[in-house]
Structure 1
Amino acid sequence: MNRVSWIDNLRGMSILAVIFLHCMIAVNQQAGHFTAFKELVNQLLAPVRMGLMCFVSGLFVASGLRHGQARYLRNKVSSILYPFAVWALIYGGLKWTFSAMANHPQSPLAIALGHLSGGDITWFLHSLFLFFVLIIPVRRLPAALVLTLCVAGAVLLPPVPPDSLFASFDNLHLNKSLVLFAFFYSADWLVRQDIDIAAFAQRRTPLLLSLIAFMLLAAFSLWGGLRQHSPWLLPLALPSIPLFVALACRINLRAVNYVGRHSIVFYLSHYLAIQVCSKLLRHDGHSAWLADLHFVLAFSVALALPTALCLLRAKGWFDWLFTLKRKGQPQLAGV
């Protein structure tokens, strides 16, 4: 599958949703007049936000494997595992350096294990690399069996014990990864069925059914009492995808497309800006207007830093932060 605009748009939309979510950390959960809007948007998108990123990545499994399994795996090491290692060192090093100032200090071993087990801020690349490896044997299995196993595993797998060395900010990250693998696998399955996903998503009946599925999903997210990556939401979350594909096909915003084309830069680096803002943008909470200003500033900075890195990367600087490949080497799409 050739890379087309709707794919970059969809990825850009999901990345922006992640940055929007993380901005609440930057302002210490005080978003002023944006608070109600922020909570509504984040709750509505919670069941599909990361799933859409996994879905987009899964679209490129088939095209990658056509170049041979060895090259496919080398590409994933260069474009996913390598930047994961680099940014695990960056974020882990910063956490260790400032551990004494943190509310919950961690030992260097705990910090390292948090990243290596996929339980820290770099968790998405950790899971995504495993997805690209796991999909090779799993794609031979019936789709119904794979999706059933994803749900069953996410339900039955116990959380990481909170007193374990592998404990992190999300001790259900293994369960979450099983749910997200369902999105990843579904994308690859659709490609293997030779379905024109964009055309299908824009047909009236599938689009209407997808809208209904998302409305039901929204109702469960807002009032159902289920956590955001609950496996019980998958029967509604997966059918909701065509709605977002149709939106990505129709959106015509260069900024969104730009974020999608440079998704790995925005995903990995925006959190640095978030962390800086969380230390600098402090106030007493009495002024909602000041909280508004802080939220807008945090969101702007979280976009500005990755954009600056993209511009510098285009000039040949800092490319080593995001890929092991040198310029001029062929690179398979997918990240």
Structure 2
Amino acid sequence: MEKQRIDWVDIAKGMCIIFVVMMHSTLGVEKAAGAEGWMHYVVAFAKPFRMPDFFMISGLFLGLVIDRPWRRYIDRKVVHFLYFYILWLTIQFLFKAPGIAAEEGAGGVASAYLMSFVEPFGTLWFIYILPVFFLVTRLVRRVPVWLVFAALALFETLPIHTGWTMIDEFCGRFVYFFAGYAFAPFIFSAANWLRQRPLIGLAGLAAWAAAEYLLVFTPVPPMLSSLLTPEAFMAGGRGGWSELPLVSLFLGLAGAFAIVATAALLSLLAEANPLHRALSWLGAHSIVVYLAFFLPMAVARTVLLKSGIITDVGTISFLTTASGVVGPVILYALVQWSGYGRFLFRRPAWAIIDRAPQKKTAAVAAE
């Protein structure tokens, strides 16, 4: 059974990818400028739900395909992402290699490249870990849902910080992916319920936003500061209540559902509405943006900071974010128009190990 596109799911994915690009763009600009701008507060507000919502939505349709034959499952859920990881790791290294070589020599470049198969490289860690989530979910699908969810919630709550991205992100993020898979029927029903009751949805989102703001920007008292880890001040974190154990889990789940609710309400807009069309397109092609945003983001950041035309750090961060989102869209359009470079966003036949007919979906939508 093939997944059918649902507009609010695409809208939610579109929102998610914008938040991801925003975080990388804003923090990169602020690091280079040595100062924070107004966009930092948006990034900080989104931190509790920025990745939980992406993972939850990634698991929503897994129930439709989890019982596929193993060969097809491996092809769609492991080889699929492995191809794009290796491809775009190599592309990114073409830009990073000169700097690495200047500091560590040619041996350092080769070592860093090979190490990227153990420790995911830069922004690509999301598609590096997704195949692991797909495999583990399939292996535990016969285990009672409540038991798996409880164990994963415990992993998220415990202070597990080994320094190895695979372990740390598995423990911190898998609970949200599994929630998307295990509770998909409830999530879809709730979204449809909210679409019929938009005023209730808006009131609920207002209450959530107020609670999110208070918990993110209210510092924890000194007596609880020992519970904060260094990660509480990374990726836009402010060291507030939102970074405490259990609170972060609750806000991750609540925030992910808030994105679902927001997307469900936005889907009520006419399909011709520019906002509806833009977010839906970005959602349907979210992995295109995720794979390719690093270069236009870096170029925009460098040009804007060095030109001196704009001095406000927040505005530079905003324009860098826009470049990181629009740049991949332009690249994808050029690829589609010219017919060259389609391998950048679609697996070629030689990289497919299962030849069963599959639906021709946009770009590299999660199959």
TM over 0.5: yes
Alignment check: 8 A CA contact 1:79 1:323 kept: no
Query: Does 1:334 pair with 2:366?
Result: yes
Alignment check: 8 A CA contact 1:58 1:187 kept: yes
Q: Identify if the C-alpha distance between structure 1 residues 201 and 113 changes in structure 2 by more than 3 Å, giving closer, same or farther.
A: farther
Q: Identify if the C-alpha distance between structure 1 residues 144 and 201 changes in structure 2 by more than 3 Å, giving closer, same or farther.
A: farther
Query: Does 1:258 pair with 2:281?
Result: yes
Aligned length: 322
SS of the counterpart of 2:216?
Answer: helix
Alignment check: 8 A CA contact 2:26 2:318 kept: no
Deviations for 1:80-126, whole angstroms, at most 9, x for unmatched residues? 221111111122342222225679x9653234324532353210001
Give the match for residue 261 of structure 2: 246
Deviations for 1:146-199, whole angstroms, at most 9, x for unmatched residues? 233224334253322xxxxxxxxxx66632332221111111112366952421
Give the match for residue 159 of structure 1: 162
Give distance in 2, aligned partners of 1:194 and 1:289: 43
Match of 1:274 among 282, 297, 305: 297
Alignment check: 8 A CA contact 1:115 1:122 kept: no
Give the match for residue 178 of structure 1: 171
Give the match for residue 10 of structure 1: 12
SS of the counterpart of 2:48?
Answer: coil
SS of the counterpart of 2:5?
Answer: coil
Q: Identify if the C-alpha distance between structure 1 residues 80 and 68 changes in structure 2 by more than 3 Å, giving closer, same or farther.
A: same
Match of 1:121 among 117, 120, 123: 123
Q: Identify if the C-alpha distance between structure 1 residues 322 and 284 changes in structure 2 by more than 3 Å, giving closer, same or farther.
A: closer
Give distance in 1, aligned partners of 2:69 and 2:185: 16
Deviations for 1:285-317, whole angstroms, at most 9, x for unmatched residues? 8x8646566445423332332011221333333
Give distance in 2, aligned partners of 1:134 and 1:308: 36
Q: Identify if the C-alpha distance between structure 1 residues 42 and 33 changes in structure 2 by more than 3 Å, giving closer, same or farther.
A: same
SS of the counterpart of 2:123?
Answer: coil
Match of 2:252 among 228, 237, 244: 237
Give the match for residue 135 of structure 1: 137
Give distance in 2, aligned partners of 1:255 and 1:190: 28
Give distance in 1, aligned partners of 2:109 and 2:289: 28
Give the match for residue 45 of structure 1: 46
Where do 5+ consecutive residues of structure 1 fail to align? 161-170
Give distance in 1, aligned partners of 2:70 and 2:208: 36
Give the match for residue 216 of structure 1: 211
Where do 5+ consecutive residues of structure 2 fail to align? 221-227, 238-242, 270-274
Give distance in 1, aligned partners of 2:120 and 2:245: 19
Match of 2:324 among 293, 302, 308: 302
Alignment check: 8 A CA contact 1:58 1:185 kept: yes
Deviation at 1:47, TM superposition (A): 1.1
SS of the counterpart of 2:211?
Answer: helix
Give distance in 1, aligned partners of 2:295 and 2:334: 17
TM-score calculated relative to the size of structure 2? 0.74
Cα RMSD (Å) of the superposition?
3.5
Q: Which amino acid aligns with 2:174?
A: F
Give distance in 1, aligned partners of 2:214 and 2:118: 36
Alignment check: 8 A CA contact 1:277 1:298 kept: yes
Alignment check: 8 A CA contact 1:115 1:123 kept: no
Give the match for residue 196 of structure 1: 189
Alignment check: 8 A CA contact 2:19 2:50 kept: yes
Match of 1:35 among 34, 37, 44: 37
Give distance in 1, aligned partners of 2:209 and 2:103: 39
Which stretch shifts more, 60-69 or 105-114? 105-114
Q: Which amino acid aligns with 1:57?
A: S
TM-score calculated relative to the size of structure 1? 0.80
Give the match for residue 165 of structure 1: none
Q: Identify if the C-alpha distance between structure 1 residues 114 and 120 changes in structure 2 by more than 3 Å, giving closer, same or farther.
A: farther
Which stretch shifts more, 62-71 or 303-312? 62-71
Give the match for residue 22 of structure 1: 24
Q: Which amino acid aligns with 2:41?
A: L
Give distance in 2, aligned partners of 1:59 and 1:288: 42
Q: Identify if the C-alpha distance between structure 1 residues 102 and 140 changes in structure 2 by more than 3 Å, giving closer, same or farther.
A: farther
SS of the counterpart of 2:147?
Answer: helix
Q: Which amino acid aligns with 2:281?
A: Y
Give distance in 1, aligned partners of 2:315 and 2:55: 33
Q: Identify if the C-alpha distance between structure 1 residues 193 and 295 changes in structure 2 by more than 3 Å, giving closer, same or farther.
A: closer
Deviation at 1:231, TM superposition (A): 5.3
Q: Which amino acid aligns with 1:184?
A: F
Alignment check: 8 A CA contact 2:192 2:264 kept: no
